[in-house]
Structure 1
Amino acid sequence: MPLRLRFGKGPGPRGRPWARKGVLLLLLPAACGFALLALSTSGIGLAATRLQALGAAFAGLRAMAVHDPRLHRRVFAAHSDRLLRGMDEADRDLLARALSDRNRAYDRARWRYGLTPVELGVVIDGVEHRFLSDEILFNRYRRGHMSLFDSASFGNGREFLPWEVFRSVQYDQLPRPLRQLILQIQIDRYRRYLEPSLWPGIGVREWRTVPDPVLKIAAYRMVRHWTGVYAPEGMRREEAARILASIGRVESQFDLDKMVHRDPATGRADLGFLQISEPLRRRLRGLPEFRDCSDSDFLKPWVSIRAGAYSFFSIFLEGAGGDVLEAIGHYNAGRYGPRERAEKYLEAVAGQFQRAFVSRRYSPTLRFILTTAHGDYFRGVEEDRLYPVRGAPSASKGKR
């Protein structure tokens, strides 16, 4: 049965009295857009105002809320068709570029999960919590009652926003369009934290205000930067970055809550994303780069990753005579530490290398983070000395 609009008195289509108001809400911004079209004179201005008109029409469509999606789609399609017919070929090409596949998917996901909330279950620390999609999308507390995060596991009753507690494993549980939309929103909103010039001045407290995916993108870019500084000649920069990234994933998962590990026997603490030990910190302070670094400075991602890169490539790799597998074991056990401990650590690093860079059963959120951090993270991985992933005992026997 065709859908008809009634502009007279009485109910709208199928007895809905809101149709007349909805159409007026749509026509008002669309009329403003057409007025802009009439006033434009230059080619660039014409294209820009036509895009504005299309955006105004779309804004009017969204203002009509969620009463009858069929009506919305048909009315919007009619207005967009008229706009397209009035454009020349150059303007249509400009519009096509502006409305790329990513932007269309972005708008569809925002429409679906923002205006029409969907209930989702997300497991955090082994407990499933129920969210509405718009609460995750717009990072806000649950409406009308206390947040779900009022248990001891989330900080003694303090309310938390979703982006504060979500990690890659939680984002992986979201529907793909919603996950992609949230990650893109986070990058757009926190883009300043991806500027290398700002990293030296950002402390741990400020990093805690940044969503986990953005923090990890910055951390993997720091890894890429410092491996370019300290990796020896002859080692491919991509391989060096993957090795140090795999070590960081074993040590802390680049998680701010896992940056301090204290030995219960000695009371000594390893600090930062790369878990710089107390003896190693003392040694590094003898260098000009780290002379003024306090223990709290080694907690900063920028300093910790730099210290880890220098330690691995300039201390352990040189001490192992350039043997990468030997140096990985030394990073945890020390040059003269127990061989079993070194072999176990090498196996753990190789496992993280496998999961992050080789396995096809990868985390989609981690894949997005690594690809956004730098495309070279997946270039030439088959040539690495950790590929194919070797078992630590067989890889290190006979080399010691």
Structure 2
Amino acid sequence: METTPTEKKSIKNFFAKLGPGLVTGASDDDPSGIATYSQAGAQFGVKLLWTALLTYPLMVSIQEMCARIGLVTNHGLTGIIKRNYSKPVLYIIVLVSYPSITLNIGADIAGMGAVGNLLLPGIPSFIFSLGFTALLMFGIIFFNYNKIAAILKWLCICLFSYIIIPFLSKTNWGAVLQATIIPSFEISKAYFMALVGILGTTISPYLFFWQTSMEVEEVRQKKLIVDKAVIHGMQTDVKGGMLLTNIVFFFIILTSGTVLFNAGIHNIDTVEEAAKALQPLAGNMAYALFSIGVIGTGLLAIPVLAGASSYMMAEVFDWEEGLDKKFHEAKGFYITIIISLIIGLLIQFLGISPVQALLWSAVLYGITAPVMIAIILHICNNKKIMGTYTNNRISNVLGFATLLLMLAAAIALIWFLLK
């Protein structure tokens, strides 16, 4: 059937509205997230596919609140916390969030380097890590906001490589549908650790900071006057972005849950292990798609991670901030990004393995997430801050459900680690 001009215009308008929400959602499927999802699938097959349905409305509700805060207040999340909460609250959030984001950057850089080495074994992994870090640093410093936003948008395409892989191997789609709709549980430490890992990876505090700050950038760049139409456009963007991330993480679990689990491979600690294991079982095409996807998601996620920490620090110290500014106009902002990338690169040379970095970042995220969600809910119900754009009943129900779930996940994570 031929697409009518009206339909073409509707599709074009839909994709035009996709911006910060799309990039935020796509960056959630970073190399460290891919390792988490691959391990969940390898250990438990398709049993955890139902988490994709569970987390979607929860992610949408929190990210929509963060986006709305940015649009309405024209300040990032750290700036709002600084203006409306005590200094100890601000400092605790920053002291926990910055190290966790930096560890995440380190794990992602190491994962990209290792996968690059798999594709081109003649080049050492650290050379790839160094090259990717330099490329990211150059792009973030020398490209303006519009260029960076466009590049990040296009990098989202690499995520579709994971959707293709299950169709290249034998998949029992009946079992997949059942596992997606009907939750199944195992009373074991490994199962709950995998569940907590998925929750911590999908609902990550760095996304809260990035989403809020990016909406502020959008308002400034496009000179938006916030009204119901702008809010509606933002909500479409957030829903689309979170849908993409959940579809991708669904297919990563599905890939490892059908290919690796069925082959008896139940322990995957890193993305390179997942890629290696796929090659003899699913073929060179699946292996190449998986590996390229890791590099693409790293190039997408690391600017988001580094940007989130930089916006956070700039708002704490009242520095000039913004990806639309040149280096000399926002030195503190860009130096923070450079430091984050360099520390992230050095982590693998300090004897800290990517797995260790992931573990500690997961612990720190687990501690930070419930606190951050509680603050976001409080902000979004405060008429002095949000005016007429406070939460409705559905937002509060989903927000409090997310808070309780992440609080339970944090307690479970700490209990399992101490056990």
Give yes or no for TM over 0.5.
Answer: no
**TM-score normalised over the length of structure 2:** 0.24
Rg: which structure is higher? 1
Relative contact order higher in (CA < 8 Å, ≥ 6 apart): 2
The structure where strand makes up a greater share of residues is 1
The structure where helix makes up a greater share of residues is 2
**TM-score normalised over the length of structure 1:** 0.25
